[in-house]
Structure 1
Amino acid sequence: MAHPAPPTTPLGRFVNEIEETMIALLLAGMTLITFANVVLRYGYNTGLIWGLEAVTFLFAWLVLFGVSYAVKVTAHLGVDAVINLFSPPVRRIIALAAATVCLAYAFLLLKGAWDYWANFANLPQTTGKWFPTGFEEMKRSSFRGWYEVIDIPLPEWLRWIEPIMNEGEAYEKIPRFIPYAILPFGMALLLFRFVQATVRLANGTAQSLIVSHEAEEDVEAVKHMNEGN
């Protein structure tokens, strides 16, 4: 797999640290909760009622962080059999066109993610069908911050959000806007990574958005190993 050079800008380093740290923490959290549930179930005939839902949310966060991280390390799969029939200048134009489509797609995903999450966060959705032309006017009847998840209880240290998001009413479970926040955040990261990739294509430091020919390289490596035997 191709590995681009380390980010040189402060913003690039900051985003890189967020992605790699969160992916490690999410994997660790999923492993610990699952392991604890197995021990409790088979050792003590009990378990964490909220464990399955928590692991589900952690996995969703992992996937959405992974989507943007895979753009960074060019791990998304693609087919270049037809593209390779053209000359390098034409391939570069095609790659830039593909990057433009990816930017538009990521932008639409970000708009849709914000509009979905805003329902649960007492925030206005964007107006406009494709391009955001502003924000809708919010009325108290439109607030959905009281929606809770099914099993995960609200930690005591999060009680401060109740007067802000739930008009002082107590939450029994964590409100949905917390786990759902990964939707706009993850799509913003994806858009940022596609902007980076497009810049690399434009200045000639990258040739494609997709993975390198890792499979062919592995086949060649195995072939050389067999020839050595």
Structure 2
Amino acid sequence: MHPAPGHRLVDRVEEALIAFILGAMALITFANVVARYVFNSNILWALETTVFLFGWMVLLGASYCVKKSAHLGVDVVVEMVSLSARRLLALVAVAVCIAYSFLLLKGAWDYWANFANLPQTLGRWFPLGFEENFRPKAWYEVNDIPNPAMLNFLETLMNDGDPYEKLPRFIPYAVLPLSMALLLYRFVQAAILIWKGRLDRLVASHEVEDELAEVRAQRGEEV
């Protein structure tokens, strides 16, 4: 899926964030191994941090794979029909994906919102407004990750001036609405490309077939 110039900023931010998360996970894990086996110590917050980073990577990776058409898919039926039928099937599929990712976005917001002192949405399937009375939960903290000094301003803003000993939970949980919004954005992008005739399916990659063809070529077999 080739992004238009207006979408390149989102692409770059997404790719840079995923790369940063991978690097941070590797660095923290390596530092913890060195601390444990060389200095007989332990970085207490390392495990929880890598778990959160891994969650961020998986959730952001879901939308990234939509952009790259890298999700697993079965296209046996798609290959058997005409181009116009393929486009129709693709439009039906992407419509279902858009509806599903919209529901995921609503659920993600509703789960995260109270942790950020924000109201959840009303309505079971479609947001019908925001709740008026809710219990703010911004005082919830993670288990081990200390709150960095540069985030102390959040104590006045989110916690009535009470100090945070650990990182506020709404910060790592923010990936839920963020990633679902990106997923919805990517499916809308795909729908536009299908409508314009630039794609005829959601899953356009055939990595396994390409790899098998490469292996056969190396062995001198017919591809």
TM-score bucket of the superposed structures, by smaller chain:
over 0.9
Secondary structure of the structure 1 residue equivalent to 2:133: coil
Match for residue 28 of structure 1 among 20, 23, 35: 23
Letter of the structure 2 residue corresponding to residue 184 of structure 1? P
Offset of residue 111 of structure 1: 0.2
Normalising by structure 2, we get a TM-score of 0.96
Letter in 2 for 1:218: E
The whole-number CA distance in structure 2 between the counterparts of 1:217 and 1:45 is 47
Gaps of 5+ in 2: none
1:207 aligns with 2:200: yes
The list of structure 1 runs, each at least 4 consecutive aligned residues, that deviate by more than 3 angstroms after superposition, is none
Rounded Cα–Cα distance in structure 2 between residues aligned with 1:151 and 1:217: 45
Query: How far off its partner does 1:219 sit?
Result: 1.7
Q: How far 1:18 moved relative to its partner?
A: 1.2
Secondary structure, aligned partner of 2:205: coil
The CA distance in 1 between the partners of 2:45 and 2:68, in whole Å, is 34
In the alignment, the residues of structure 1 paired with residue 131 and residue 90 of structure 2 have an alpha-carbon distance, to the nearest angstrom, of 37
SS in 2 for 1:83: helix
Structure 1 gaps of 5+ residues are none
Find out whether 1:153 has 2:146 as its counterpart: yes
1:66 to 45, 49, 61: 61
CA distance in 2, matches of 1:183, 1:89: 36
What pairs with 1:76-225 in structure 2 (closer than 5 Å)? 76-139=71-134, 142-225=135-218
CA offset at residue 164 of structure 1?
Answer: 1.3
> How far apart are the structure 1 equivalents of 2:155 and 2:44?
23
Displacement after TM superposition at 1:224 (Å): 2.4
Q: Name the counterpart of 1:17.
A: 12
- Cα RMSD after superposing both structures: 1.3
Percent identity (aligned): 55
Deviation at 1:206, TM superposition (A): 1.1
| Count of residue pairs brought into register by the alignment | 222
